[in-house]
Amino acid sequence: MSIPELLTTIGGAPVNSVEDWETFRRPEIMDLLSEYIYGKRPAEAEINLHTTWKITDAKENYLGHPVRYEKVLITAGGYTFLCRSFFPMTDKPVPTFVYVMHEYQEKKYDFETSLECLNVPILDIISRGYGIAIMPTSGLYPDAEHKANYKAGVFAYFQPDRSLRRDNDWATISAWAWGASRVLDYLTGCPFADEKNAAVVGHSRGGKTALWAGATDTRFALSISNASGCSGAMLHRGRTEGGETVKVITNAFDWFCKNYSKYADREEMLPCDQHMLVAAMAPRLCYVESCSADAWASPAAERESCRLAKDAYALYGMTGAVLPDEADIEADKAYHDGNIGYHMKTGEHSILAYDWTQYMDFWDKKRG
């Protein structure tokens, strides 16, 4: 299957400079990804949002730890959802992660009583001088396994009449990414966060969301996808044996605009592919993680998107991913030389403290 060229416009013109990229090709790519995969947001969710936030609980030495805690209700365009943030107790604003926490994880933890969290090692993050804002996705749109059909959350609020939905309308991943951007709005006004150094992170469906958030909101300095797989970092045209397909994912979930389902078993017809999503981060930082036993997410195809995205970075005189050929890829090794970081953890589909250590090592090294 031939892979859509990153540096050739739809009209066939070569893209040779940052100006060509930013004026012509990147906007085209964002349009293709919106139109065919993630959907377009309604104007109501994009303009005159006037984001505000209300801190409903604020504590220092939270639960006996050297942590500054804020429980926040964020309101944008009239829609309100919850987020919790944790910062070190320092005087200076700190680089901060926005974590897209999906419901499976959300249900496992109670941050009102404990900071123990297998998937987000809050105390390690704090001890390394980073902050973290955790956004439960349920506040934006419930993560119902059996398709909630856009009856709830931001969809019901911004577009109550579902009969008006079009095939290219936004869907769940876009809604969660919208939420991550609103959390960043709050961080820009938060004295503890250095909003110029904000990263968005997510696991699996959250990883797909983190990439779309980083593509749509260039204020994110770093976008981190953990085991994002199909419709995340996985190149459709590079999918390996056992990898998830457009047919399976669009049958099971209402995460994407309807147009995407038309490409079920017709991936070769997609006018875009996921290397374009990774390339949309250039010249900012990006990070992709895979798990060695996660054939469903097709690690080799996640790496292939990273490799192909390098051409966009090259326009800026920067390196993208510095990865060896497939035969030489090693698990549990940090590939941190370029501006797209990568590692593959040994084991099953998961986000664990080991991953966060890699993310922070990478960000320590690359941060401006």
Question: C-alpha dihedral over 69, 75, 80, 82, to 10 degrees?
Answer: -10
Instruction: Decide whether 126 or 249 has the Cβ nearer to ligand GCU.
Output: 249
Instruction: Decide whether 205 or 275 has the Cβ nearer to ligand GCU.
Output: 205
- Tokens 């079009």, residue located: 166
Q: Which residues contact 268 (CB under 8 A, 6 or more apart)?
A: 1, 2, 237
* Closest approach of ligand GCU to the CB of residue 230, in Å: 5
Dihedral sign, CA of 351, 353, 354, 357? positive
DSSP E strands: which ranges in 102-188? 131-136
What tokens appear for 232 in the block? 């995340």
The reply to whether 204 sits near ligand GCU by the rule CB under 6 A is yes
* Closest approach of ligand GCU to the CB of residue 260, in Å: 13
| Number of residues assigned to the chain | 368
- 261: annotated active-site residue: no
Site string (210-229) toward ligand GCU, x via CB under 6 A: -------------------x
Q: Which of 204, 223, 228, 290 is catalytic?
A: 204
Strand partners for 100? 135, 202
User: Helices 172-188 & 205-216, crossing angle to 10 degrees?
Assistant: 60
* Closest approach of ligand GCU to the CB of residue 203, in Å: 7
What tokens appear for 331 in the block? 């698990």
- Round to whole Å and give the CA distance between 304 and 229: 12
Interface residue with ligand GCU, options 98, 230, 286, 300 (CB under 6 A):
230
What tokens appear for 330 in the block? 């090693």
The reply to whether 302 sits near ligand GCU by the rule CB under 6 A is no
Instruction: Decide whether 199 or 351 has the Cβ nearer to ligand GCU.
Output: 351
Interface residue with ligand GCU, options 26, 41, 182, 205 (CB under 6 A):
205
Q: How far apart are the first and last CA of the chain?
A: 39
Show contacts with ligand GCU in window 39-98 (CB under 6 A): none
The reply to whether 355 sits near ligand GCU by the rule CB under 6 A is no
Instruction: Decide whether 337 or 348 has the Cβ nearer to ligand GCU.
Output: 348
* Closest approach of ligand GCU to the CB of residue 268, in Å: 20
What tokens appear for 342 in the block? 């990568």
- Round to whole Å and give the CA distance between 100 and 206: 5
Instruction: Decide whether 234 or 315 has the Cβ nearer to ligand GCU.
Output: 234
* Closest approach of ligand GCU to the CB of residue 249, in Å: 5
- 127: annotated active-site residue: no
- Round to whole Å and give the CA distance between 1 and 271: 12
Q: Which residues contact 301 (CB under 8 A, 6 or more apart)?
A: 234, 235, 236, 238, 239, 240, 243
Q: Count of residues binding ligand GCU (CB under 6 A)?
A: 6
* Closest approach of ligand GCU to the CB of residue 102, in Å: 6
**Three-state secondary structure call for residue 81:** strand
Instruction: Decide whether 200 or 230 has the Cβ nearer to ligand GCU.
Output: 230
Site string (231-270) toward ligand GCU, x via CB under 6 A: -------------x----x---------------------
Interacting residues toward ligand GCU by CB under 6 A: 204-205, 229-230, 244, 249
> Catalytic site residues?
204, 349
